Structure 1
Amino acid sequence: MEAFIIAAVVGVGVGILSGLLGIGGGVIMVPLFRLGLGLEAIAATATSLFTIIPTSVSGMVKHARNKTSVPKIGAVCGLFGACLSPVGVWAANISPDWLIMAVAAVIIAYSAVTMLSKAIKSPKRAGGSEKGHADGPGKNEEHLSTEEVPERAFVASFRFTPALIAKTAAIGIFAGFMSGYVGVGGGFVMVPLFISLLGVPMKLASGTSLTAVCILAVPGVIEQALLGNVDFAIGIAMAVGSIPGAIVGANLVKRIPERTLRIFFACFLAVVAVVLVLNEVGVLA
């Protein structure tokens, strides 16, 4: 019972970060399960993936109510990602532990650098606000600047073109494979790519990412469960705390400037990457 309570309390923090940053929480849970609970890499990734779904659903619903997501981007990305999630699970089951964690660290570090670069380049508005103006982008425009298009205008004006569908599908395929392989929702991959490739504002990228995670993680979870890799007791305990935490995190999105969100997200990912590397080389063992 004590372990259940501790996991649930930790889950609250995981949920807050999930709802705030648009991640399923796997980038926190995988290191936690691996370092704190001593699970094997495959068990850590499988249990993380299991916990991600209820956490993401909770955050997604709140983002939808707050209108801080682009559902059609999330749906397309999630459907394509769902096709590759089982392939990622298969690859993880035949890979050594160190390789799984190394891949996770590299991808997380790259995402951190990309996000920090975007934050540094973005202008710091007076009073911390992140405002812009919309020129009424038409259907043929394939990239909308996050600094020029307010969130509501972006959602109202966004239209899929063949090029945008291809980009969204590519993001989903990559995130889906990583979801199954590393045991994360793929938000740390999707959020930076939504911003850089699709021009989605940060405050919309988080909720859009959670929409995709809810879809693409399902096949991977089913496969991991059938293989007996999921620790359901730990996963359920984390979910108990992470679900309300995700609601809190989603509510905080509108109150924090976009530039601040980017910097915080980048620093958070950098720390996670370093911790994973230190653990696998034996420094934290």
Structure 2
Amino acid sequence: MTIILLFLAGIVAGGFGGLLGIGGGAVMLPIVRFGFDFSPSIAVGTTLVAVVFTAVAGSYQHWKMGHVDWKSVKYIAPAGIVGVIIGSVLFYWIKDYHELIDLILGIVFAPIAASMIYEGLFLRNKPDFPGRTMGGNIPLKAGIGGGVGIFTGMSGLGGGFIMVPAFVYLLRSPVKIAIGSSMASFVWFATVGGIIKIAQGLCDVPAALAMGLGAIGGAIIGARLCSRIRPATLKTIFGFIFLYVSLKYIFSYFGITI
């Protein structure tokens, strides 16, 4: 029964992740941590392995729709791989400090919530950049990739909420190209990070497979809907949900349940 519920959670996470361009990890992580009572370190590792499936399925759909700037991805992805290795090593040092991990993740979810609420409420009619490629130079692209890679290794999250705005505002990317290129870059981050987490013993493999397989269908649906739906309302709703998740993590550090 638990495996079936994890599979269904994967469908939901993959769908909203593909639609909102944030990856499924931000939805999966609090589900396995609080819904299935995984320890913080196992929740992070399991989520990272599961989102490999989301990233592959979602990036494939965005590639088919022409939403990936591969010339930029070839600089972002290698830097991200180096970053995720560094982040995974750092995370292993603190894996037994469960309360500290909860606090860190609570802090991580706060800007996710704030950015989604802001975008949903105030950027509904923001004009998009033209074209099908990103600007910027190679060091800037590599810097974004490396920084997000470290974040991924530490948190188990894809960092789409960092990469997509960075691509739009720093690289002047059209939003759909930013979302597709973010997903395509994250495939490499998640694959390397997931292998490391399994090797470190920080992954519940059956749970990750169940969520990951469910996320494949969800990510395909979400990526397709991305071209047809303005997700501003969903971003606002999920922003407030993630605000609650952030507070729940932070209060858990102090032994308070909300």
Determine if contact 1:115/1:192 at 8 Å carries over to the other structure: no
Deviations 1:196-245 (A, max 9, x none): 22222333322221111101122221211112111111001111211000
Root-mean-square deviation over aligned CA pairs: 2.3
Distance across 2 between alignment mates of 1:204 and 1:264:
24
Question: Quick one: structure 1 residues 69 and 196, their matched pair in 2 at CA, closer, same or farther if it must change by over 3 Å?
Answer: same
- Give me the whole-angstrom Cα distance separating, in 2, the residues matched to 1:74 and 1:275: 35
Structure-2 change in CA distance of 1:31 and 1:147 (3 Å): same
Q: Does 2:143 match 1:166?
A: no
Q: Deviations over 1:229-267 (max 9, x none)?
A: 111110011112110000000011111226556545644
> Where does 1:238-277 land on structure 2 (aligned, <5 Å)?
238-257=211-230, 259-260=232-233, 263=236, 266-277=239-250
Cα offsets for 1:122-175 (capped at 9, x unmatched):
463xxxxxxxxxxxxxxxxxxxxx7253xxx421xx36553xx22221211111
Cα deviation 1:54-110 (Å, max 9, x = unaligned): 111001101111223333333422221110112111111111223323222223322
In structure 1, stretches of 5+ residues that fail to align are 125-145
Q: 1:215/1:268 Cα in 2 relative to 1: closer, same or farther (>3 Å)? A: farther
Partner of 1:41: 40
Rounded to whole Å, the distance in 2 between the matches of 1:159 and 1:29 is 29
SS of aligned partner of 1:17: helix
Residue equivalent to 1:30: 29
1:93 matched to 2:92: yes
CA distance in 2, matches of 1:18, 1:25: 4
One-letter amino acid matched to 1:281: F
Change (3 A) 1:269 1:168: farther
**More moved, 226-235 vs 93-102:** 93-102
Structure 1 residue matching 2:170: 3-state secondary structure: helix
Structure 2's unaligned 5+ residue stretches are none
From the superposition, tell whether residues 258 and 181 of structure 1 become closer, same or farther in structure 2 (CA, over 3 Å): same
TM normalised by structure 2 equals 0.88
1:211 maps to 184
Counterpart-to-counterpart distance in 2, 1:72 and 1:208: 10
Q: What is the CA–CA distance in structure 1 between the aligned matches of 2:128 and 2:150, rounded to whole Å?
A: 33
Q: How does 1:149-188 map to 2 (within 5 A)?
A: 149=129, 153-155=130-132, 158=133, 160-162=135-137, 165-188=138-161
Structure 1 counterpart of 2:63, one-letter code: A
Q: Does 2:127 align with 1:147?
A: yes
The residue type equivalent to 1:56 in the other structure is A
The answer (yes or no) to whether the contact 2:46–2:205 under 8 Å persists in 1 is: yes
CA contact (8 A) 1:202 1:262 kept: no
In structure 2, the partner of 1:58 is 57
Query: Is the Cα contact below 8 Å between 2:102 and 2:252 reproduced in 1?
Result: no
Equivalent in the alignment of 1:142: none
Say if 1:78 and 1:100 are closer, same or farther in 2 by CA, change over 3 A: farther
Picking from 161, 170, 174, the partner of 1:197 is 170
Residues 100, 181 of structure 1: 8 Å contact kept: no
* Secondary structure at the counterpart of residue 254 of structure 1: coil
Aligned mates of 2:55, 2:134 — CA distance in 1: 25
Amino acid at match of 2:201: G
- Percent of residue pairs identical: 29
The secondary structure found in structure 2 opposite 1:112 is helix
Report if the CA contact (8 A) 2:55-2:183 is conserved. yes
**Distance of 2:104 and 2:18 partners within structure 1:** 24
Give the 3 Å change call, closer, same or farther, for CA 259–30 of structure 1 in structure 2: closer
Kept in 2, the 8 Å contact 1:17–1:246? The answer is yes
SS of the residue 1:217 aligns to: helix
